Structure 1
Amino acid sequence: MKWESLSDFFAMGGYGLYVWGSYLVAMICVIGEVVLIRGRKRTLYKHLGQSRRSILRG
């Protein structure tokens, strides 16, 4: 496909909304997954630290 201008590139032959919308949804999912994984990691380390302390105490 040949684009004459930047607006033609973003329009993607009339399918730009679907193309760019798909990229947007994919990026939101990737960013959300990274945020959720960081939260799970933080929770895991917190629980591991608490269980380690309880093991050392008794």
Structure 2
Amino acid sequence: MWNSPAEFFAMEGYALYVWSSFGVCALVLLLEPLAVRARHKLIVRRFQREVMAEWFDQKGGK
């Protein structure tokens, strides 16, 4: 039990570990969707270039 908000935030001497863990977790939860979106866009662009290259190869061969 904590008698004050200061005691709660101090976490009985473990505040640095506890709050840095929460911070790192929050950062990862924020960055993960951004990284997934960027990777998805990269894959779509590569696929589009590959399809266009095949289309030009087929059109040029006729």
TM-score range, shorter chain: 0.7 to 0.9
Measured in 1, the distance between the counterparts of 2:3 and 2:55 equals 70
Measured in 1, the distance between the counterparts of 2:55 and 2:6 equals 65
Unpaired runs of 5+ residues, structure 2, are none
Question: What's 1:54 paired with?
Answer: 53
Question: What's 2:41 paired with?
Answer: 42
Q: Count residues in correspondence.
A: 57
Letter in 2 for 1:28: L
- What is the TM-score with the length of structure 2 in the denominator? 0.70
Matches within 5 A, 1:1-58: 2-57=1-56, 58=58
Measured in 2, the distance between the counterparts of 1:38 and 1:6 equals 39
- RMSD over aligned Cα atoms: 1.7
- What is the TM-score with the length of structure 1 in the denominator? 0.73
Larger radius of gyration: 2
Unpaired runs of 5+ residues, structure 1, are none
Letter in 1 for 2:35: L
Letter in 2 for 1:12: M
